[in-house]
Amino acid sequence: MALNTLQDLLVEELKDTYSSETQIAKALPKMAQAATSPQLKAAFEKHLVETQNQVKRLETIFQQLGESPEGNDCEATEGLVKEGEELMGEQADPQVLDAGLIAAAQKVEHYEIASYGTLATWATELGHTQIADLLKQTLNEEKTTDEALTALAESRINSAAE
Ligand code: FE
Ligand code: FE
Ligand code: FE
């Protein structure tokens, strides 16, 4: 697709983000299963529910724009998910694996924070106020998740892995 306008770029990046979220929705149950800490499992399960809702939010946005969500696979998420799968395939001490799972998840959240921050700015610039609000809701969920993972890493999980 030719990118002639900022609107074209917005749609292209929304498609990438839709691909990203659907991949994350598939990966989170595996990460919850691989986690040992009950708090970490709970954090992944909570974010799975949020992620499913984020997918729906994006579908609402595509409807409002009259565009299809399909057509741009997110290769960055593919890579990040693959790294997580590699980690889960290792023989690892449970606490060490938890520390690794947090790191893998935070890489995904940081990618999402960058994506949604950009998308919200472009939507605002283009006058799509409602769409920008939806994108900011998701952005806040990603930030809150990232902070919750940092808190888990700093509390007991990292000290247990030492
Ligand atoms: Fe997300
Ligand atoms: Fe991407
Ligand atoms: Fe997320």
pLDDT interval class at 160 (50, 70, 90)? low
Mean pLDDT, the chain, integer: 96
Q: Span 116-129, mean pLDDT?
A: 98
122 C-alpha vs ligand 3 centroid, how far in Å? Answer: 20
Residues with CB under 5 A from ligand 1 (ion): 21, 51, 54, 112
Check residue 15 and give its pLDDT.
98
CB 44 within 8 A of CB 34: no
Average pLDDT over residues 86-114: 97
- Indicate the pLDDT class of residue 154, thresholds 50, 70 and 90: very high
pLDDT at 153 over 90: yes
The alpha-helical segments, DSSP class H, found in 35-93 are: 38-65, 75-88
**pLDDT tens digits for 15-37?**
999 999 999 999 999 999 999 99
Q: Indicate the length of the chain as a whole number.
A: 162
How does DSSP assign 85-105, residue by residue?
HHHHTS---HHHHHHHHHHHH
Between CA 54 and CA 62 the distance in angstroms is 12
pLDDT score of 1 more than 90? no
User: What is the DSSP code (8-state) at residue 37?
Assistant: S
8 A C-beta contact, residue 123 and residue 101: no
pLDDT of residue 158: 61
CA dist 4 and 20 (Å) reads 24
- Please, which residues have CB less than 5 A from ligand 2, an ion? 16, 74, 76
Q: Per-residue pLDDT tens for 134-144?
A: 999 999 999 99
pTM of the model: 0.94
Distance 122 CA to ligand 2 centre (A): 16
Q: What is the predicted pLDDT for the residue at 36? A: 96
